Amino acid sequence: MPSLNLRLTGALSLLNSTLEDCDLTLNGTTFGPADSATHEVDLSGYWLLPGIVDLHGDGFERHIRPRPSAPFDKRHALQAADAELASNGVTTAWFAQSWSWEGGARAPDEAVALLEARRQIAHRLGSDIRIQLRFETHMPDDHAALMATVRSYHLDYIVFNNHLPEAVEMADTKPARFATWAAQNGHEPDALLAIVRAAKQADPDIPAFLKGLAADLRAHGVTLGSHDDPDAATRAFYRGIGAQVCEFPTSIDAAQSARAAQEPVLMGAPNIVRGGSQSGNIAAMELVEDGLCDALISDYYIPAMAQAAWAIADARALSFAHAWEMISTRPAAIMGLHDRGRLTPGARADLVVMNPNTRRIEATIANGQITYSSAQAAQRFIQAGPRLAVAAQ
């Protein structure tokens, strides 16, 4: 499909943290000068916003396994997830895939299979879909395998998880829930408990292991983070090995520790929309109001990204423009993607066409291609010319 060369007129565009009355020109895959446009689209009444950049989402799992016992082809699932991203304004996304001792859908082999599926169909995807590996810390025998995977698939983002404390507590206090978890990953409860206990025995060796692994990952240009930091001491440990992104801190102390060290704090957009954490952790809105949250991520529900920006604006915690930057400009900067997250000349042509009256995303353009269009916005693109009519279908 050819890239677009068109001028978008009449809309308010998010520039310099404000909504400004300014036309935008798409020159192929980038934003360009006004004289490069071959078509013009009147988008009066709409807002033009940078495409959403999602640093962590596992909603794609429902496309692979709509039921735990009913997996589907990963290539088809990724294409379905790509369509969901586009309809929700996401133009760049990291799908969070576990590399864990848990087995089942979170086994290392499953991670490699997802990476291979993504490589095979990358040319068919409208959004820039990447894979974030969530590496369980107590897997010291997987150093070489993980590094081989990083090299083979050019991974750029890995976060460290440690779910052993949660697993031990669940086995001791909630055996029925532990049994369900085991079954979902293809284990009998006793077998999973044996895996947990064996992994726990490696406790004394894990700090040194992670230090060496992190050094190798950073040498390959991988951005590192940690997941569910419970306290400032844990955040300090990960800071010490170069894992600077603080993802889903579960305490104010951990978030404050990251802020003091100027490290980015990521929180879940569903937490904002639902008014709190579904797992009983800290409320993301409190961190936003206290200036302790840098960016929002979709976590388990992709539509929550845009909804969260509106929720923050409605609560008057931030202006809508600043709230939208938490799902576009800031996450792009965190990952060093200076070519996106902004509607400026030379930047990648990623944008969202928002109807501010209905709060509905009516069109998404990713890398200069219309990946989603609906309602009146679709009609306006189609009316701009035959070439756009083909692109908008």
CATH of the domain at 357: 2.30.40.10
Nearest to 113 by CA among 68, 161, 71, 59: 71
Nearest to 74 by CA among 127, 24, 122, 19: 122
Nearby residues of 51 by Cβ (< 8 Å), 6 or more positions away: 89, 90, 91, 92, 328, 340, 341, 350, 351, 352, 364, 365, 366
First to last CA, the chain: 11
Q: Are 125 and 153 in the same domain?
A: yes
- Cβ pair 82, 54 in contact under 8 A: no
Q: Are 260 and 191 in the same domain?
A: yes
Q: Are 326 and 348 in the same domain?
A: no
CA angle 149, 154, 157 (to 5 degrees): 90
Beta-bridge partner residues of 20:
13
Q: Are 79 and 31 in the same domain?
A: no
Note down the domain range covering 359. Answer: 5-50+341-392
Which residue, 334, 362, 382, sits at the end of a domain?
334
Question: When comparing pLDDT for 68 and 26, which is higher?
Answer: 26
Position 391 pLDDT exceeds 60? no
Give the chain's domain count. Answer: 2
Structure tokens at 111: 């991670």
Q: Are 306 and 379 in the same domain?
A: no
Q: What is the CATH number of the domain that holds 290?
A: 3.20.20.140
In the chain, what are the helix, strand and coil shares in percent, each to the nearest 5? Answer: 45, 25, 30
Nearest to 212 by CA among 123, 137, 109, 264: 137
In 10-102, which residue ranges form alpha helices assigned H by DSSP?
61-64, 74-87
What value does the mean pLDDT of the chain take?
Answer: 93
pLDDT of residue 389: 45
**Once rounded to an integer, what is the mean pLDDT over residues 325-354?**
97
pLDDT of residue 276: 75
Q: Are 311 and 259 in the same domain?
A: yes
Ranking 72-81, 164-173, 275-284, 341-350 by mean pLDDT, the lowest is: 275-284
Taking the whole predicted model, whether its pTM rises above 0.85 is answered as yes
- The single-letter code of the amino acid at 65 is R
Q: Are 41 and 65 in the same domain?
A: no
pLDDT of residue 67: 87
Position 35 pLDDT exceeds 60? yes
Q: Are 310 and 357 in the same domain?
A: no
Give the C-alpha separation, 90 to 56, whole Å: 12
Give the C-alpha separation, 245 to 236, whole Å: 12
Give the C-alpha separation, 313 to 309, whole Å: 6
Give the C-alpha separation, 42 to 47, whole Å: 12
Q: Are 57 and 41 in the same domain?
A: no
Q: Are 94 and 196 in the same domain?
A: yes
Give the C-alpha separation, 227 to 209, whole Å: 18
Q: Are 87 and 176 in the same domain?
A: yes
Which residue, 293, 315, 334, sits at the end of a domain?
334
Which residue, 334, 350, 375, sits at the end of a domain?
334
- Angular region, 367: left φ>0, alpha ψ -120 to 50, beta rest: left
Q: Are 183 and 311 in the same domain?
A: yes
pLDDT interval class at 206 (50, 70, 90): very high
Structure tokens at 64: 């692979």
> Within its chain, how far is the Cα of 246 from the centroid?
14
pLDDT of residue 279: 67
pLDDT of residue 352: 98
- Cβ pair 346, 30 in contact under 8 A: yes
pLDDT of residue 37: 64
Residues written for the chain: 393
pLDDT of residue 390: 42
Q: Which helix (H) or strand (E) holds 24?
A: strand 24-27
